[in-house]
Structure 1
Amino acid sequence: MAAQLPLNEVPLFPLNTVLYPGGHLQLRIFEPRYLDLVRECTRTGSAFGVCLILEGAEAGAPATPAAVGTLARITDFSHRADGLLGITTEGGSRFRVLRTRVRSDGLLRGEVALWPEEATQQVPVEFSLLQTILERLIETMGPPWRHASRDLYDDAGWLGFRLAELLPLAGDEQQHLLEMTDPIRRLATLRDILPRFQKA
């Protein structure tokens, strides 16, 4: 288990997806509680926590979040064609939720313990196929990493997180990969998953 840094309280945004460190996530904001969250984070320059929903839905009554999530910082705003506010976020540190409380407006807040960043580890040669697969995924899907430095592909943590967010994995698989603390084991898990996506 990862060592933990000092406690923080952050607003939580439960979603039907997982945000990984260094990842990018675009969100439509329409509920008043999340408009308040965006205003708070913009005013203070603070982050909010993204957690996978274990029970419930993104809208309506507060959902039950997974115990491990990722801090998200707002990097851009847009006014969408449907009239809603759009935000772009970038994933930061992971955290473990120790306790939660619900504000009167339905916004979930959590006391969280931050995890330290993973140490950079070189991608072992036996996982070089994963580097090639990620290159092809990025070329096809055109995410923000199209012009990523070649050095990043040699970073086991970066490679694993990018594959985890681009492959069509189930929510529990995404969450399991997020909670892993060994980048090499994460790559091994992804390698074992890959045959599922090979064409017959």
Structure 2
Amino acid sequence: MATQSPLIEMPLFPLASVLFPAGQLHLRIFEPRYLDLVRECTRHGTGFGVCLILEGHEAGSPAVPAAIGTIARINDFHRGEDGLLGIVAEGGARFRVARSRVRADGLLRGDVEVWPAEPELEVPVEFALLQSILERLIETMAPHWRHAPRSAYDDASWLGFRLAELLPLDATEQQHMLELNDPLLRLAELRDILPRFQKP
């Protein structure tokens, strides 16, 4: 019987988008509760949990988040021309929220079980087309990945997560791809979705 990972307490940031492991997240912070979150994370060198919003909105009353999310770690911040704080964070491990609560200031906090990283599996030859498609998507949409090593494209998990964030999937489909635990199944489902995006 597998032992359950110990729960870790962290602030949660519900968003209208999905963050994948190794993905980049750009945020403009203006609500006091999220300024406090950034201060906490930078002071202690900790991350925060990003979860897709199931009900509600990013600003205002606390939203209802999905149970599966991704830990984000801040690696850069700046002050924008509008005076707002901008941060860049990178997606790390995925997690499942065991329980959550809302603080008096409206900040959501959760006790989360961190998932282990997926095994590194080589991309089977039948998914070679997905590697070519990702190269084209990165060239036009994600220049920060242009210098990714060739070996990254051969990693089924990395390939699937990058395609899931760059293909025009809706948020529910992206969340499904995040929750899958089999890198090859994720590639198979992405391959089956592709005809939808082909021009007639």
> SS state of the match for residue 35, structure 1?
helix
RMSD value, Cα: 1.1
> SS state of the match for residue 144, structure 1?
helix
Overall identity of the aligned pairs, in %: 72
Contact 1:4 1:114 in 2 (8 A): no
In the other structure, the counterpart of 2:80 is 80
Alignment of 1:173-184 (within 5 A): 173-184=173-184
Instruction: Identify unmatched segments of 5+ residues in structure 2.
Output: none
In the other structure, the counterpart of 1:149 is 149
In the other structure, the counterpart of 2:40 is 40
In the other structure, the counterpart of 1:18 is 18
> SS state of the match for residue 168, structure 2?
coil
In the other structure, the counterpart of 1:194 is 194
Aligned length: 199
| Rounded Cα–Cα distance in structure 1 between residues aligned with 2:110 and 2:21 | 19
In the other structure, the counterpart of 1:30 is 30
| Rounded Cα–Cα distance in structure 1 between residues aligned with 2:3 and 2:161 | 19
Q: Which amino acid aligns with 2:115?
A: W
1:19-61 CA distances to partner (integer Å, 9 max, x unpaired)?
0001101001000000000000000000000000000000000
Q: Which amino acid aligns with 1:38?
A: V
Alignment of 1:90-105 (within 5 A): 90-105=90-105
Contact 1:48 1:73 in 2 (8 A): yes
Cα distance, 1:4 vs structure 2: 5.0
Length-normalised TM-score, structure 2: 0.97
Length-normalised TM-score, structure 1: 0.97
Cα distance, 1:181 vs structure 2: 0.2
Q: Which consecutive segments of 4 or more residues in structure 1 shift more than 4 A?
A: none
| Rounded Cα–Cα distance in structure 2 between residues aligned with 1:106 and 1:120 | 39
